[in-house]
Amino acid sequence: MSGWFEALLRGVLTVLGASALLTLVRLIIGPTLPDRVVALDLIALQMVGGIAVYAMLTHEPGLLNVALVLAIISSLGTIAIARYLFQGGKGEP
Amino acid sequence: MSALLWNLVLALLWGAVQDDMSLGTLAIGFVLGLVLLAFISPQPGPSPYARKWLDILKLLGLFVREVITTNWRLALEIATPGIKSRPAIYAFETEARTELEVTLLLLIINFTPGSLGLEISEDGKVLYIHNMFTTTREAFIRNMRENVERPLLRVLR
Amino acid sequence: MNSVVLRAVARTMTPVLLQLSLVLLVRGHNAPGGGFVGGLMTSAALILYLIAYGTGTVRRLVRVSPLKLMAMGLVVTLGTAALPLVTGQPFLRSAWTELALPWGGHLALGTPMLFDVGVYLVVVGATLGFILALAEGEGSEGGRKEDL
Amino acid sequence: METGLILAVGMLYAAAIYCMLRRSTVRLSLGLVLLGSATNLALFTTNKVTRSGPPLLPKDGMLAGPVADPVPQAFILTAIVINFGMLALLLVLVHLAERTVGSDEMKHLNTEVPPPSVPHE
Amino acid sequence: MREVITAVFLGVGALAMLLAGLGMVRLPDLFLRLQATAKAATLGVGGLLCAAAVNTGSLGGVAHALLTVLFLFAITPVATLLIARAAFHAGVPLWKKTGENDLAEKYRAEARPPSADSLIDGQ
Amino acid sequence: MKNLLILPVLIPLAAAALSLLLPARAGLRRALALGATAALTGVAAGLLSTVWHQGVQVLRVGGWEAPVGITLAADLLSAMMVLLSGTMSFLCVVYSAGSLEARQEAGAHYPLVLVMLAGVCGSFLTADLFNLFVWFELMLVASFVLLALEAERERLEACLKYMTLSLLGSALFLIALALLYAVGGSLNLADLAQRLPGTRQPPLATAAAMLLLAVFGLKAAAFPFSFWLPAAYHTPPVAVTALFSAMLTKVGVYALYRTFPLLFAGDLGLTQPVILAMAVLSMGAGVTGAVVQYDVRRLLAFEIISQVGYLLVGLGLSTRAALAAAIAYWVHYVCAKSALFFVTGAVERVTGTHQLEKMGGLSRTHPLLGLLFLVPALSLAGIPPFSGFFAKMALLRAALRAESWGVAAAGAAVGLLTLYILMKVWREVFWKTPPQEARGSPGSLAVLGPCVVLALVMVGLGLGAQPLFVLSDAAAGQLLDRDTYIHAVLGGGP
Amino acid sequence: MALLAILLTGFVVAPLAPLLVRVSRRGASVSLGLVPLGLTVWLASLVPQALSGTPPSFHLPWVPGLEVALTLRADGLSLLMALLITGMGTLVVLYAGAYLQEDPRLGSFLGWLLCFMASMLGLVLADNALLLFICWELTTVSSFFLIGHDSHQEEARQAAMRALVVTALGGQALLLGLLLMGWVAGTLTLSELPTAGPALREGPLALAIVLLVLAGAFTKSAQVPFHFWLPSAMAAPTPASAYLHAATMVKAGVYLLARLSPVLGGTPVWQGALVSVGLVTMVGGALLAFAHTDLKQILAYATVSVLGTLVLLLGLGTPGAAQALVVFLTAHALYKGALFLVAGAVDHAVGTRELPLLGGLRKAMPFTAAAAGLAALSMAGLPPLWGFIGKELVYGAAGHAPGGWGLALGAAAGFTLLVGSALRVGLLPFFGPRSERGQKAHEGSPALWGPPLVLALGAVGLGLVPGWIQPLLEGAASAIAGPGDKPLELALWHGLTPALGLSAVSLALGITAYTQRERLRRALVSLRLERWGPSRLYTLGLAGLRRCADVLTEQFQSGSLHRYTFLTVAVTAGLLALPLLFRMGVPEGLKRTLHLHEAAVLALLVLATALAVRTRSVLTAIMALSVVGLTESFVYVLLGAPDLALTQVVVQTLTVILFALVFSRFPVKPTGGRSRLQDAALSLAAGGLISWALLHASALPPQTRLADAYTSRSEPEAHGRNVVNTIIVDFRALDTLGETAVLATASLGVYLLFRPSRRRKPA
Ligand code: NA
Ligand code: NA
């Protein structure tokens, strides 16, 4: 792996980290729960991206599998939260 | 659909006879098969199968254009101080009828930067779309109709 | 009528997810995955179905009650584990056989894989049991329809 | 990373214990989730092989470099699943308790009354 | 060559992700932020995964990347619908400069479910 | 037949899985449970005899040698504990059959009991610390469910408290394991025992020992870790409580006995006094707490804490005589406590209450119950000629000979208070004029049978105390003989 | 063998008593009385051999490891006691049959009585200290049931508890003492102990041994300040009082001291304690007897006084004192037994035992009156009764002791008061005008007046013809203090000795005390001794115990889970701090490299955790937890654990879904913030300690042995390239087996707790 490429990968990882921290700010300040859910969803996606980048950095394509599962599962979590937490068990969505 | 299957079989055949099942080989086989199938047609002009592919390509083209422009605007919006956009939520009466059509339409709308489906009426005929960079209601609906809904339905029907 | 979209997505995605979970189960011995993750993924896929279609549909889809599924899984793991006792081998001793594939190469098959299948069944049964119990509890209390 | 992670683990433990001390069944269950995470990470930091590749052997031949210690991983895997089962059970109890007394506060559930001071010899 | 293509994808992805993060902080209301995540994040993750797919070049890598993108593509709108609906029910306010709102008309007729009050979560 | 070692785990677990697969009928589940516990008892007896004649028995699970694989090992103490658990669970199943409603019997009571039993036996037999953790959790989860089963308010409360502290304990357990793994590079008991003495960081091992002390103390309900017990023990049916008292806390004590002489024998100075302090505090706190209890089951629950204190004395002194005495005490105590729970259960069936104030006069109306109460009560209080006397005396003797005057004095004083408390129960339940008429019947043979059997056991272990002491002494000898255990677990191939 | 049979007979017959009573109420006591009678005869036949120098003995190992053995030995002392026990036993059983004829629980009473007798026999025949102790405890237990026989009366229940607590307290002390003795002496065989006497008397543990043994003996023999249980034990039915509290059980302590005199006696501590406590008890008991008007109370205090005398004699330790002891002991057993039985007969006939309500019964109950008169005269120490001989010997022994005549004068004071009591008990109910309550009184069945009369006549007979019992008494006395320098002289007339003078004076003063009894009583009552007495102390002690238990329960078992958790964590942290803070320095060789993205990940972890803790909204906390979980799995990715990352991410999401399902159903109020600071401090301390430990752990050199083994063996032996997976499904598959069972059980639990029938339960 060329040096610039590795540096780029690390740079991208750092950018993702910064972005995730920014997103966490939204999760912290809210102000409403849906805001937080959106932020959480985004953080999960940032991690999916991070895993993809890390897979390149470490030459472990197997990690893409983790990224896939994370993407699927976290979306599922978001849906479930939206469906169950917000509806309060009442009403038709 | 059977044409697509044929296409896939051709691609596999291509790979198998070369004893090389790698992704690149299969892709080449698929494109070759597509070209073959596009010309094997009883009617003149491109075969219905080829036309479908053309429609898809057109949809993709429109889509990519939309993605690039609105993402750029979005990026500018976020990266520059102040928020200049004036968002709005519009009801959009769709011509899509089946469940699949509505779903795909919504997916496409959502993937189009700047617009976001927020709700579907109970009868499934009206989509409520949040739009970031609107000028007027008419312009928005026209854009939706012509650049998103029609190309999609053309592919699907 | 958002459920239109939800259902369409669930209907197309659930088989994909189920397939994926089986992949995770089968290749777990050589790559990340295995019975646990496979089982959890299967449950996740069924949860997507549940969100879209309600608990009744999921129960119909699974056919066996989660409890029985779990017990079956336990019996499979215990059975695999206890199999060596018959021949006087130590408990949980694994046995392997190489299966020659018709298109060349070979496939190693072993009791640990069966053991993993048992684990998979238990995990599916258990997690599905959690979710169904809680989701049904919710349904019955609010007095709302099971399906969305 | 290792040192930082260990400090974070300590903080996770502190947070978990603090949550468990909050007199609310709901907080309690949140605390237990944190406790699980903290413990898993603590197990992970035990052996000093970090930033290595996963313990996956290549299809042909031996490993190129060092790999992470698989033993704590196997332990954590077990611990995660056990913790999940326990948590599900706990959540149901929390829910039933809330249903019974209409509150998530532990004190409303309390029936351990102080003993009666009956004068017996 | 492969590294250059990867780098382009990486750049697009990282930029989109950064924008999404910034957007989360900067955009004034929930629906705008939803826009930011739904697009930028999908684009961002897509970019990064494509980079990975190009970089590995293996069938498995590509399949994983594509499957992930496809799934996100399919599922994110569903989540958006559910969240948006919940937000409306909860009375999450729109940005004051939002123009026309056809949905408000629709919801005015419906009663707000009482349980939704708990969603407003002033910290 | 080394596979004998896995049967105590396998039999109940398989029976539990089977009873869940088969239709939910009371008779079927009862029969399965009876069969499984009886079979387990038989296996345990066989195991004990094998260990007695051939020394420590080892099963390398999966054929993997230690420390790569998990090794099960049975020395005399393990085998005795398995036998005791098997017998007690059999009696509890019989008692359940007599005291539970058909609805409960057809439910998950028996499968859960069996699962718990599997966890308990696994804990007794494993020679691997992480495996011990797993069996602990199995036992715990089954006990949580058994405790909460009918979801009444008290049971929910009890279970929540028990669960909170237990799960906290599980987390601490894992931290201790993490430290031990870092220091010793393995969690196999024998392997660790061999490596810990030469470690570069002994205080870290001591830290792990302290954590384990807390964890096992929590399971054992030794004093400052005992809060969950009085909160939990008075709520479930007697059959369950008796089982808990016979097994749950004992597994904690066993874990201490298994690990401390083996791993931390050289560590010294620090753990021993802590254990002794815990022992004395438990003895005192438990019995003092019981003084003001007027709920008979809660009273007995407090009693458990003080009895656990006695068991810890053996470990705290760690002389052969003390260990032997404690092990003998252990056997006696499990029988006596279960018998007391059984009898109070029968009393509750008669009087319809477990409040002492509301009972009375049973010595005139139910003299047999009186006798069945007296034997375990007097035995527990260390009154001759029952089993408890010899056990307590042996413990005091060992304490005196170790020149632990305070412990001996505490042991004697707590014995006196125990007598006071149990005779208080006697006075209230059997002598006092009943404030309300008791109409219930104590129940069938299935209820009284286990009480009678245990009473006979206590008389038998008193009049024929010698074999028990020979066995306990040999078990204590094995506990102190670290090398034999280490060699048995590590030595040789499969 | 004979001894074993004698010992076991009672235990075997006792459980049969209830059955026999069921067969025939009247015949039961007669046929049961044959048992002690037969034993008496049997024991009597052993006397020659016992006195021959090789007393009959028996040995059978019981629990060799603990030095418990069925070792029996019947020397003079043992036989004398055994004969008293069985002889009195015969009469008491007969008497009880009549006395409790109407009692539905006669059977159990007789059973416990026989059990008691057998225990007492064992106590005196045992030659193994622990066997003695076993019987000792058995007498405690059986007396508990005898005292509490009338269990419907609160008084009886309390009295039984008192006696039990006090004597069991002594029992515990005695056990410790005996165990120490056995350790120091190397044997627990009583007949071998004297050879170890010097070691026991002079070793470092001597004081402890003596004090512990004395505690046992003093409680059992009702010495001040433990005497208070005895008067309250009068709640027992009279036959039990006569047997236990006059003739036998209370003598057990005296017997023990006598038995151990050759071993422990002679030291200043021993002598000082025995003499002083004995003297105080003797005078105090006799004085207190005057404060009461209930026949049994008077007798009880008089008994306390006599027990004091016996202890005093043991304290003197001379052969003469020992001779006086055995004589006085038998005398007391005879007259006190008789008087108790008389009191019972009077009570039975009149329905009260209160002296003011009694009088003039001598015509209605002539035999009883005769028995009472004779016994009272023996008690008062008048010739020609046995009591007189005993008293003379006591004076003589006291006079010859080092303490000299001071002691004798003290004894005389005690005897003076006893004379008064004897006259009150023996005369007042039978002379003077017939009381109102006693109008219809008449003599009961022969079983009620026969036994006291036999005992009283025994006192006369022994006084007149003392010779035939002399060898036995001498044998007994020599077992205590060795053979005397002069033989025991059992005669009514020794000439004009100082002792005779003392007797005359004390008799005269005693009669005066009798005439002034009312004044004396009022004076004693006005002192209100019970306010300061040990009885009060006992009550206060129990109240204190309860208070202590209350406080302890409030503090530790308050029901507050918060407190439970807090204490558990605090104690654990304290334990952990011991090695970590005091034995370890700062860890060395930590890795400090931290990439930017790793820093971001850690920041995410910490900030999300902080949010989870800080937020008041539970739903927000759940979101924050999700971030924590996601970050955790990302850490796994970074550190080479994809399997963990996968599992964690799925489990984490399922957890959130579970939370969503559960918490969607009830609004969660923000929780109050009591004791935040305290909790935060503890949490931080605990977290810090754990970090500290982990830092040290991570500074250790890596352990690669197992990891290497697994990675190198995974593929060839377990046929898998995912090492983690081969571990969990093959190398350590047993863990996985257990773990699946855990998961399944948890799920079963969720199902059970949440099934529909349960769900609809109203709140
Ligand atoms: Na796996
Ligand atoms: Na195996």
Listing DSSP states for chain B in one string gives: -HHHHHHHHHHHHHHHHTT---HHHHHHHHHHHHHHHHH--SSSSS-HHHHHHHHHHHHHHHHHHHHHHHHHHHHHHHHSSS-----EEEEEE----SHHHHHHHHHHHHHSTTEEEEEE-TTS-EEEEEESS-S-HHHHHHHHIIIIIHHHHHHH-
List of residues 6+ apart from B24 with CB closer than 8 A: none
List of residues 6+ apart from F194 with CB closer than 8 A: F486, F490
Cα of C117 from ligand 2 centre, angstroms: 14
Higher-confidence position of G761 and B58: B58
Which ligand number lies closest to the CA of residue F64? Answer: 2
Cβ-count burial G214-234 (b if 16+ within 10 Å, e if not): bbbbbbbbbbbbbbbbbbbbb
Q: What is the mean pLDDT of chain F?
A: 92
Cα of G707 from ligand 2 centre, angstroms: 18
Considering only the beta carbons, identify the residue of G615, G616, G667 that sits closest to E118. Answer: G667
G329 vs G310: CA distance, rounded Å: 7
Closest CA to F225 of G20, G567, G81, G283: G567
> In total, how many domains does chain B have?
2
Asked if residue F179 has pLDDT above 80, the reply is yes
- Neighbors of chain G with 3 or more C-beta pairs under 8 Å: A, C, D, E, F
Cα of G78 from ligand 1 centre, angstroms: 78
Cα of C93 from ligand 2 centre, angstroms: 4
Chains B and G, touching by 3 or more CB pairs within 8 angstroms: no
Residue D59 lies in a domain: no
Omega before B151 cis (within 30°)? no
CA of G716 to nearest chain C CA: how many angstroms apart?
11
- Neighbors of chain A with 3 or more C-beta pairs under 8 Å: C, D, E, G
Per-residue CA distances from B1 to B48, B49, D88, G490 (Å): 11, 9, 46, 132
List of residues 6+ apart from F198 with CB closer than 8 A: none
Nearest CA in chain C to B102: C5
Task: Map residue G496 onto helix, strand or coil.
Answer: coil
Asked if residue F211 has pLDDT above 60, the reply is yes
F230 contacts on G by Cβ (under 8 Å) = 557
Helix (H) or strand (E) holding G164: helix G154-185
Could you tell me the pLDDT band of residue G12, with boundaries at 50, 70 and 90?
A: very high
Task: Map residue G529 onto helix, strand or coil.
Answer: helix
Tell me what pLDDT residue G35 has.
94
Cα of F479 from ligand 2 centre, angstroms: 30
Task: Map residue G68 onto helix, strand or coil.
Answer: strand
Alpha carbon G320 to its chain centroid, in Å, reads: 34
Tell me what pLDDT residue F90 has.
97
Pick the residue of D75, D83, D108 with the most F CBs within 10 A to test the interface with F by mutation: D75
> In total, how many domains does chain D have?
1
Tell me what pLDDT residue B1 has.
58
F159 vs F147: CA distance, rounded Å: 6
Report whether C92 contacts C112 (CB < 8 A). no
Report whether D78 contacts G739 (CB < 8 A). yes
Domain range holding D6? 1-50+68-104
Nearest CA in chain E to B130: E31
G500 vs G119: CA distance, rounded Å: 39
Query: How confident is the model over A41-87, as pLDDT tens digits?
Result: 999 999 999 999 999 998 888 889 899 999 999 989 988 888 876 66
DSSP states along G39-63: HHHHHHHTHHHHTTSS--EE--EEE
Alpha carbon G85 to its chain centroid, in Å, reads: 22
G511 vs G517: CA distance, rounded Å: 10
Asked if residue G760 has pLDDT above 60, the reply is no
Kindly state the average pLDDT of the residues C103-132: 88
Report whether F376 contacts F458 (CB < 8 A). yes
Chain C interface includes B98 (CB < 8 A)? no
Kindly state the average pLDDT of the residues G711-724: 91
Tell me what pLDDT residue G456 has.
93
Gyration radius of chain G's alpha carbons:
38
Q: What is the mean pLDDT of chain C?
A: 84
Higher-confidence position of E3 and B34: E3
pTM of structure:
0.94
Chain B interface includes E34 (CB < 8 A)? yes
Could you tell me the pLDDT band of residue C139, with boundaries at 50, 70 and 90?
A: very low
F327 vs F309: CA distance, rounded Å: 13
Q: Number of A:C CB contacts under 8 A?
A: 42
Closest CA to E107 of F325, B122, C107, G110: B122
Tell me what pLDDT residue F494 has.
38
Chain B interface includes E101 (CB < 8 A)? yes
G191 vs G178: CA distance, rounded Å: 14
Tell me what pLDDT residue C146 has.
27
Residues with CB under 5 A from ligand 2 (ion): C 92, 94; F 62; G 730, 733
Could you tell me the pLDDT band of residue B43, with boundaries at 50, 70 and 90?
A: low
> What is the number of helices (H) and of strands (E) in chain A?
4, 0
Could you tell me the pLDDT band of residue B36, with boundaries at 50, 70 and 90?
A: confident
Cβ distance of C116 and G729 shorter than 8 Å: yes
Neighbours of G674 (CB within 10 A): 11
Query: How confident is the model over B99-155, as pLDDT tens digits?
Result: 888 888 888 888 777 788 888 887 778 888 988 877 788 888 888 888 888 888 888
G327 vs G730: CA distance, rounded Å: 84
Domain of D8, CATH number, reads 1.10.287.3510
Residue G88 class from Cβ within 10 Å (0-12 exposed, 13-18 middle, 19+ buried)?
Answer: buried
Neighbours of C105 (CB within 10 A): 8
Residue E122 has φ and ψ, to the nearest 5°, of -60, 125
Task: Map residue G407 onto helix, strand or coil.
Answer: helix
Same domain, B28 and B72: no
Report whether C9 contacts C30 (CB < 8 A). no
G731 vs G717: CA distance, rounded Å: 10
Query: How confident is the model over G168-195, as pLDDT tens digits?
Result: 999 999 999 999 999 999 999 999 999 9
In this prediction, what percent of chain B has a pLDDT beyond 70? 92
Chains B and F, touching by 3 or more CB pairs within 8 angstroms: no
Chain A interface includes E38 (CB < 8 A)? no
Tell me what pLDDT residue B42 has.
63
F350 vs F365: CA distance, rounded Å: 10
Residue G628 has φ and ψ, to the nearest 5°, of -55, -45
Domain range holding B136? 48-156
Per-residue CA distances from B20 to C61, C72, G90 (Å): 40, 43, 112
Tell me what pLDDT residue G524 has.
85
Report whether A13 contacts A53 (CB < 8 A). yes
Asked if residue B48 has pLDDT above 80, the reply is no
G684 contacts on D by Cβ (under 8 Å) = 14
Cβ distance of C4 and B103 shorter than 8 Å: yes
List of residues 6+ apart from E95 with CB closer than 8 A: B83, B87, E28, E29, E31, E32
D110 vs G285: CA distance, rounded Å: 53
Report whether C128 contacts C46 (CB < 8 A). yes
In sequence order, which ranges of G126-147 are alpha helices (DSSP H)? 129-147
CA of A43 to nearest chain E CA: how many angstroms apart?
9
Query: How confident is the model over G421-435, as pLDDT tens digits?
Result: 999 999 889 988 888
F153 contacts on D by Cβ (under 8 Å) = 97, 100-101, 109, 111
Residue F400 has φ and ψ, to the nearest 5°, of -65, -45
Cβ distance of G735 and F131 shorter than 8 Å: yes
Could you tell me the pLDDT band of residue F61, with boundaries at 50, 70 and 90?
A: very high
Nearest CA in chain A to C2: A93
Tell me what pLDDT residue A88 has.
47
Could you tell me the pLDDT band of residue A92, with boundaries at 50, 70 and 90?
A: very low
D108 contacts on G by Cβ (under 8 Å) = none
Considering only the beta carbons, identify the residue of F18, F21, F63 that sits closest to C93. Answer: F63
Could you tell me the pLDDT band of residue F479, with boundaries at 50, 70 and 90?
A: very high
Query: How confident is the model over C64-107, as pLDDT tens digits?
Result: 889 889 999 999 999 999 999 988 899 989 888 888 877 767 77
Which ligand number lies closest to the CA of residue F70? Answer: 2
Could you give the angle at which helices G295-316 and G268-289 cross, rounded to 10 degrees? 160
Query: How confident is the model over G45-91, as pLDDT tens digits?
Result: 999 998 887 899 999 999 998 999 999 999 999 999 999 999 999 99
Strands C96-100, C106-110: pairing kind: antiparallel
Cβ distance of C7 and B106 shorter than 8 Å: no
Any bridge partners for residue C109, and if so which?
C97
DSSP states along G620-662: HHHHHHHHHHHHHHHHHHHTT-HHHHHHHHHHHHHHHHHHHHH
Q: Provide the ipTM.
A: 0.94
Could you tell me the pLDDT band of residue B80, with boundaries at 50, 70 and 90?
A: confident
Higher-confidence position of E94 and F275: F275
Asked if residue F325 has pLDDT above 80, the reply is yes
Could you give the angle at which helices G618-638 and A3-29 cross, rounded to 10 degrees? 170
Could you tell me the pLDDT band of residue C44, with boundaries at 50, 70 and 90?
A: very high
Tell me what pLDDT residue G530 has.
67
Asked if residue C63 has pLDDT above 80, the reply is yes
- Where in chain C are the domains? 4-142
Tell me what pLDDT residue E118 has.
42
Tell me what pLDDT residue A70 has.
93
G314 vs G328: CA distance, rounded Å: 12
Cα of F131 from ligand 2 centre, angstroms: 15
Asked if residue G763 has pLDDT above 50, the reply is no
B115 vs E31: CA distance, rounded Å: 10
Token pair, residue F314, equals 């053996």
Tell me what pLDDT residue B45 has.
65
Cβ distance of C12 and E82 shorter than 8 Å: no
Range of lowest pLDDT (A16-25, F137-146, G484-493): G484-493
Q: What is the mean pLDDT of chain G?
A: 90
Same domain, B60 and B133: yes
In this prediction, what percent of chain G has a pLDDT beyond 90? 61
